[in-house]
């Protein structure tokens, strides 16, 4: 039965990760889930024989390798990996320090790469597996003023996931980029969304966007996380998996807009583009 599949989910103590873990357990899957703090995870999810809570620092390769090994010793294999851990960061590129920018990349990019590097030997060994990388609609279109670093991290996720799908296909392994629009999680809450330590008053547009996200959009997002999570499980069970999965009417519409914008730039400047050969 499919329900004996083993899932490995990062960033599972809240948000989409937590909803995913709960739905998976309810459906009878075996689930290993990570968080920086295992107590948070245990209290959020509860105890179950098919649930393995793991305290993991995703930027530490040893910690990640250890979590993968523990999962395999307990459940015998890993079928589906969901790189869900990540957080939002708002601020102009000038406002956010090198340290702040790198901290966002550490979790959103290098953490996921650490998980992929650690799990691939097992997936290659069994010639099967499916890796879901949770990106964002902000990883497909940069039309989110004030979210430059966050979008850069999520664009990076798009780039390496497309590559992963191509390089792992012949090994029987699938990769899917999940790009949610606005879902009603704690993503925009004060303790979740990172803001610049040194704000520069001149960036009026950025401040307006920051204010709108913190005070208007947060709590009023159109997307239902339970539906988002159910869609991921549906796709994991489908025979044919898409490389791109956009979640939410907003994500879908904005993605189409971006494709049209790019097309327009391409056509307007085609003459210059194609006349650069010898």
Q: Which of residues 22-51 bind another protein (CB under 8 A)?
A: none
Q: Is 207 helix (H, G, I), strand (E, B) or coil?
A: helix
Q: Is 106 exposed, middle or buried (0-12, 13-18, 19+ CB in 10 A)?
A: middle
The three-point CA angle 135-137-141 to 5° equals: 115
H/E element, 249: helix 249-268
Contacts to another protein from residues 217-246, by CB under 8 A: 222-224, 227-228, 231, 234-235, 242-246
Token digits of residue 227:
């539906």
Alpha-carbon separation of residue 193 from 177, 196, 201 (angstroms): 22, 10, 19
CB of 51 to another protein, least distance (A): 26
How many Å apart are CA 164 and CA 99, to the nearest integer? 28
- Catalytic residue from among 19, 22, 144, 150: 150
Catalytic residue among 5, 14, 22, 154: 154
According to the binding rule CB under 8 A, does residue 157 interact with another protein?
yes
Of 2-10, 23-31, 76-84, 179-187, the window that binds another protein (rule: CB under 8 A) is 179-187
> Which one of 128, 211, 216, 265 is in contact with another protein (CB under 8 A)?
265
Residue 205 binding another protein, by CB under 8 A: yes
Distance of CA 40 to the CA centre of its chain: 20
For the bound state, the minimum distance from the C-beta of residue 187 to another protein, rounded and expressed in Å, comes to 15
Residue 135 annotated to the active site:
yes
What lies within 8 Å, CB to CB, of 22 at 6+ separation is: 45
CA–chain centroid gap for 7, Å, is: 15
Task: Tell me if residue 203 is catalytic.
Answer: no
Pair 191, 162: CB distance under 8 Å: no
Q: Does 164 bind another protein (CB under 8 A)?
A: yes
Closer by beta carbon to another protein, 11 or else 223: 223
Which position among 206, 218, 236, 254 is part of the footprint of another protein (CB under 8 A)?
206
Smallest distance from another protein to CB 215, Å: 20
Q: How far is the CB of 40 from another protein (least distance, A)?
A: 26
Residues 122-141 within binding reach of another protein (CB under 8 A): 124, 138-139, 141
Contacts with another protein: how many residues (CB under 8 A)? 94
């Amino acid at each position: 039965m499919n329900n004996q599949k083993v899932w490995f989910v990062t960033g599972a103590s809240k948000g989409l990760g937590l909803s995913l873990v709960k739905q998976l357990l309810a459906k009878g899957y075996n689930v290993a889930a990570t968080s920086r703090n295992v107590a948070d995870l245990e209290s959020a999810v509860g105890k179950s024989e098919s649930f393995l809570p793991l305290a993991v620092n995703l930027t530490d390769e040893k910690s990640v390798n250890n979590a993968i090994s523990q999962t395999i010793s307990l459940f015998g294999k890993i079928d589906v990996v969901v790189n869900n851990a990540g957080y939002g960061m708002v601020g102009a590129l000038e406002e956010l320090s090198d340290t702040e920018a790198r901290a966002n990349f550490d979790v959103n990019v290098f953490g996921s790469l650490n998980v992929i590097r650690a799990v691939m030997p097992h997936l290659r060994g069994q010639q099967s597996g499916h890796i879901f990388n949770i990106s964002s609609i902000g990883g497909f279109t940069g039309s989110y003023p004030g979210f430059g670093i966050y979008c850069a991290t999520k664009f990076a996720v798009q780039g390496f996931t497309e590559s992963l799908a191509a390089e792992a296909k012949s090994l029987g392994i699938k990769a899917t980029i999940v790009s949610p629009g606005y879902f009603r999680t704690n993503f925009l809450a004060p303790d979740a969304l990172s803001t610049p330590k040194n704000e520069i008053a001149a960036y009026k547009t950025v401040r307006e966007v920051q204010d709108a996200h913190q005070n208007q959009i947060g709590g009023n997002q159109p997307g239902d996380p339970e539906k988002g999570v159910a869609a991921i499980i549906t796709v994991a069970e489908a025979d044919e998996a898409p490389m791109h999965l956009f979640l939410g009417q907003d994500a879908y519409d904005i993605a189409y807009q971006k494709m049209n914008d790019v097309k327009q730039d391409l056509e307007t400047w085609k003459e210059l583009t194609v006349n650069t050969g010898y």
